[in-house]
Amino acid sequence: MWPDVRIILRADSGFCRDALLTWCETHAVDYVIGLAKNARLTALITDELTRVATECADTHTAARTFVDLTYQTLDSWTTARSVVAKAEHRPGIDASKANPRFVVTSLAADVLDAQPLYEILYCARGDMENRIKEQQLMLFADRTSAATLRAIQLRLAFSSVAYVLLAALRRLGLAGTPLATAQCQTIRLTLLKIGARIRVTVRKVWLALATGSPHAALFARVHANLLRC
């Protein structure tokens, strides 16, 4: 449907399976997926772990470095793949403070350096999970107890539309306000869930909001922001 759209699959290590990686490679879908650490992977960055441990001991702050690797499992992968490794050591007195992390990716090293690939592209996955939780827990996407799949799909569609609208409101209407980074629940309860009197005439629908609302100034500012869009 959208032949020019580039897709990058981002997921944690639970999805790091050869079948999925091979499918992505076959269908030109890029991926950045967490890879569970093991002794063989950790051995590949022994020098880097030693160096950051020394730096951490000297500075008493966390030290980290990133390195590009080529890695293949002993029997579960059908081919070798590119891996970005993070060698990190946190302040402490023992080796347990070492914190190696690994990501397998289809993105070449000349497309994106190891550090931004891990810290910007991969780690942003955590924030996306927060956005999913917003829709699920704050906009009722978890209400999937209807009797039919079609009804459940419709409920999820309503929840998705609500999230899109609130995300646009946050980005456009709430820019520069105290709610610019607020979660959906805060926006809904502060800005939208307010008392009003509705009067319907032949030609108009009158909506009267309470002048004593503690958020009247914020409401007016958001209205002005939206008018400028």
Q: Are residues 17 and 112 in the same domain?
A: yes
Gap between the Cα atoms of 224 and 2, Å rounded: 35
Q: How many domains does the chain have?
A: 2
pLDDT for the residue 95: 54
pLDDT for the residue 91: 87
- 3-state SS, residue 195: coil
pLDDT exceeds cutoff 70 at 72: yes
Q: Are residues 79 and 46 in the same domain?
A: yes
Strand segments, DSSP code E, in 43-172 are 63-71, 81-89, 101-105
Could you give the C-alpha distances from 169 to 35, 71, 129, 162, 188, in angstroms and in order? 37, 45, 20, 10, 11
pLDDT for the residue 143: 87
* Within a domain: 1: no
* Within a domain: 2: no
- Mean pLDDT over 60-69 rounds to 94
Q: Are residues 112 and 139 in the same domain?
A: no
* Within a domain: 70: yes
End position of a domain, from candidates 122, 140, 161 = 122
Q: Are residues 153 and 209 in the same domain?
A: yes
Q: Are residues 133 and 60 in the same domain?
A: no
* Within a domain: 147: yes
Buried b (16+ CB within 10 A) or exposed e, 112-147: bebeebbeebbeeeeeeeeeeebbeebbebeeeeee
pLDDT for the residue 13: 94
Between residues 159 and 93, the one the model is more confident about: 159
Q: Are residues 179 and 207 in the same domain?
A: yes
* Within a domain: 145: yes
pLDDT for the residue 66: 97
% of the chain residues with pLDDT over 90? 72
- pLDDT tens digits, 121-172: 999 888 888 888 999 999 999 888 889 999 999 999 999 999 999 999 999 9
* Within a domain: 12: yes
Q: Are residues 118 and 33 in the same domain?
A: yes
Q: Are residues 72 and 137 in the same domain?
A: no
End position of a domain, from candidates 68, 96, 122 = 122
| pTM strictly above 0.85 | no
- pLDDT tens digits, 99-128: 999 999 999 988 899 999 999 999 988 888
- pLDDT tens digits, 190-199: 988 888 899 9
* Within a domain: 44: yes
3 pLDDT tier (thresholds 50, 70, 90): confident
- 3-state SS, residue 7: coil
- Tell me which residue range forms the domain holding 38: 8-122
Q: Are residues 158 and 209 in the same domain?
A: yes
94 pLDDT tier (thresholds 50, 70, 90): low
- Mean pLDDT over 207-225 rounds to 88
End position of a domain, from candidates 65, 92, 122 = 122
Check: CB of residue 142 under 8 Å from CB of residue 134.
no
Q: Are residues 118 and 73 in the same domain?
A: yes
Q: Are residues 42 and 113 in the same domain?
A: yes
* Within a domain: 92: yes
- pLDDT tens digits, 30-64: 999 999 999 999 999 999 999 999 999 899 899 99
Q: Are residues 24 and 90 in the same domain?
A: yes
